[in-house]
A and B are shown apart, each in its own frame.
Chain A
Amino acid sequence: MTKNTIAMLMAAALLLTACGKSEQAAPVTTVAGTGGSRQGDFGPPQGEPVNAILTSPPNVPPATNRKAPAKVIVELEVVEVEKPISEGVTYTFWTFGGTVPGSFIRVRQGDTVEFHLKNHPNSKMPHNIDLHGVTGPGGGAASSFTAPGHASQFTFKALNQGLYVYHCATAPVGMHVANGMYGLILVEPPEGLPPVDQEFYVMQGDFYTVGKYREKGHQAFDMQKAIDENPTYVLFNGAESALTGPQALKTKTNQHVRMFVGNGGPNLVSSFHLIGEIFDKVQYEGGTHFQENVQTTLIPAGGAVTVEFHTEVPGNYVLVDHSIFRAFNKGALAILEVSGDARAEIYSGKQGDEVYYSDKLSDAAPVTTAAQSSASGTLTKEQQIKAGEILFKGTCSACHQETGAGIPNVFPPLAKSDFLLADRKRAIGIALNGLTGPVNVNGVHYNSVMPPMSQLNDDEIANILTFALNSWGNDGGVVSAKEVTQVRATTKRTEGAAH
């Protein structure tokens, strides 16, 4: 029987007793737990000192796999670097280890950590470090205050297990944090964390630049925006591209994934969410107890969370701050790419899409009529044109315009379009599969993106094209559903494309 179970039974017994004798003062009981710092000292370090493995985000050092307290040497270098914060936008970050967030540190509860903070000679600023996992005044800040070109040393015993933020605490503290000076230190429980297939390190932060969001060039820190808590960027791992495109986090299906997620702030509290996944386990504040089946979890500035989930369905999953304007207007987006075989029994992908009219039911009559005539083999060109007109308005006119004239230099015209009229089969293909890249229409160069319209059925595409071929002065012709069927069968389409 474990210590915890005994404690729970004792508590239960006391409760029962208390019911009977309510007038007596309830005895002091302790809630079962790991014992905190009082249970975290496992004696002096044993064996040879160990050099801590530090990793850059999104990587996490391997488990310590130690069974006894060790002396662990951590060497962390502070370096001020100019790096992209967004495409074509640079910013001078102040970093622990050259990255935002800083290097990940992993030790075991009870370890004695000899910490060396080195401040690069090219730094303009003095810096220090406050580790939330340290028991002692300032979390190490005063003991690690270091001028450029110098190195400081201090030692602490990691008494509490958990996932902790560290950050610079030199005046002005807010500015040092806003420039990227934060990271995570994991203090493993003595028995280690349960093994998982993959671990990632992600940290959110808010950034304040003089220029607007995505304004090109080198951007300076904007103190007033920081004081107003009005960030220009809200980012995972310090750059808009840090975890997107080729840098996306990558895993496979059927993996047990653990993410150590911190929030450096300096100001914002994160509504952390992974679109398309449910966190099987969340340890708030990197604490010991966990909650299950969590959709969105709060991460305070200067706080951290450990989330775990299992991947079932392949595809791209998006990490966001679900305070959602930050995601789509300030950069708080990251991608987790899950590769593997589809699991249609769990998630089917798109199974159908049909035109839906609500209050305009009568307007849809020609579409219904055309569909019925097509099924019975009595479809006329006029029916097709009438149905196509309605479908065109619903699907195509946003870009090509109801006049068929398009938008100059952006969306090509369909009216008297040499490109459209030259090749009917090509036109069917474009309606089905979309078109990306340069085309020449009536002597004008266009280079836009048309999304695939494969959600429309063969009848509908035939009707739209027939309408287009007989409108705005175009010289006629009919596209049949059969032709569309043939093209659909012979070309490859993007799965689930929509617009």
Chain B
Amino acid sequence: MNRAHIWLVAFLLAAWGFAASAAPAAGARISGGQFDPVLPPAPNVKTTVVAPYRLDVALVSNADFAVFVRKHPEWRRDRVAGLFADEGYLRHWASDAGPGPAIARQPVTQVSWFAASAYCEARGARLPRWYEWEFAAAASATQPDARDDPVWRQDILDWYSKSARGGLPAVGASPANYFGIRDLHGVVWEWVEDAGAMLVSDDSREQGDPNRNRFCGSGALSLEQKENYAMMMRIAMLSSMKASYSSNSMGFRCASDAGTGP
């Protein structure tokens, strides 16, 4: 590699801005494919096709998010517009500017959907779509789709049997799954790009309600795979959250279209 090349790389890194320094590598490429999600895409349709995408290997940490907030002070907790974040927004941080060292490596929580989206956008990325998230999260360490493995399912459910009061682990601390992605289970809930479109009824028992087509037929559908309780809880959690809400167990990671990349 000659000197000119090195300079070019340095220049590109600088142009990339904070993202190169704050965010982990562009994420793992997942080729997608046919997939039967918990929430069916349309009445009487069970299968969807997930296009190739990239997904962050780890969750966004408090330190990552602090870098973003420095560049975009309109997302500081003392300056954020009330429309975009509720009172809990970054409330656990040591100061308006940053989280403090104790929780720097922990996944950022207490962020609204708006803030999470802005973060990913600033990185030239976006939040993963629900089907992308579910596709990646269906994998165990050895299988791309482990959803029928009762042992794996129970491992996931065990997280719900622990209270949310303990501290969070550092981002990326859990083992990588089949796709090389970490932290999908057992750490926090995660925002998805289409969280607001998950129009499951607020009363989950209305499955098969004659009014189910009231949301243009695309939402309010019966949940498939009723034994996949871990996913149902994700959906319940996401559907309880408005885009301005924050929670101390809701974090996020970013994704992007894989397009023509390797």
Contacts and interface: CB of A to CB of B under 8 A. Distances in A.
Interface of A: 80-82, 91-92, 121-126, 128, 130, 137-138, 141-143, 145-150, 169-173, 175, 210, 218-224, 227
A149 B161 contact: no
19 contacts: A121-B248, A122-B165, A124-B160, A124-B249, A126-B236, A142-B201, A145-B239, A148-B247, A150-B245, A170-B204, A170-B240, A171-B204, A171-B235, A172-B232, A210-B158, A218-B162, A220-B158, A221-B157, A222-B154
B113 to A, nearest CB: 12
A223 B229 contact: yes
A141 B241 CA distance: 16
Interface in B217-240: 223, 227, 229, 232-233, 235-237, 239-240
B260 interface: no
A121 B161 contact: no
B142 interface: no
B203 interface: yes
Give me the 5 closest cross-chain CB pairs, A-B, nearest first: A126-B240, A171-B204, A220-B161, A142-B202, A142-B203
B239 to A, nearest CB: 8
Contacts of A227: 227
B244 to A, nearest CB: 11
Interface in B189-220: 189, 200-206
Nearest to A120: B164
Nearest to A174: B229
B252 to A, nearest CB: 16
A125 B233 contact: yes
Interface of B: 88, 150, 153-154, 157-158, 160-165, 189, 200-206, 223, 227, 229, 232-233, 235-237, 239-242, 245-249
B236 A170 contact: yes
B203 A141 contact: yes
Given A122-B163, A221-B160, 12 more contacts: A121-B247, A124-B249, A125-B160, A126-B237, A141-B205, A169-B203, A171-B233, A173-B205, A175-B160, A223-B153, A223-B154, A224-B150
A141 B202 CA distance: 7
Given A80-B164, A221-B160, A227-B227, A122 B204 contact: no
Contacts of B160: 92, 124-125, 175, 221
A145 B202 contact: yes
Interface core residue of B189, B245, B247 (most chain A CB under 10 Å): B247
B232 A171 contact: yes
Contact of B162 (A92, A125, A130, A172): A92
Contacts of A125: 160, 233, 236-237
A145 B245 CA distance: 14
Contacts of A149: 88, 245-248
Contact of A128 (B162, B200, B202): B202
A212 to B, nearest CB: 15
B205 A169 contact: yes
B157 A137 contact: no
B46 to A, nearest CB: 19
Nearest to A123: B164
B163 A81 contact: yes
Given A122-B164, A124-B249, A146 B240 contact: yes
A404 B163 CA distance: 54
B248 to A, nearest CB: 6
A121 to B, nearest CB: 6
A129 to B, nearest CB: 11
B204 A173 contact: yes
A223 to B, nearest CB: 6
B236 A80 contact: no
A122 B235 CA distance: 19
Contacts of A172: 204, 229, 232-233, 236
B229 to A, nearest CB: 5
Nearest to A93: B163
Contacts of B236: 125-126, 170-172
A124 B229 contact: no
Contacts of B235: 171
Contacts of B203: 128, 130, 137-138, 141-142, 145, 169
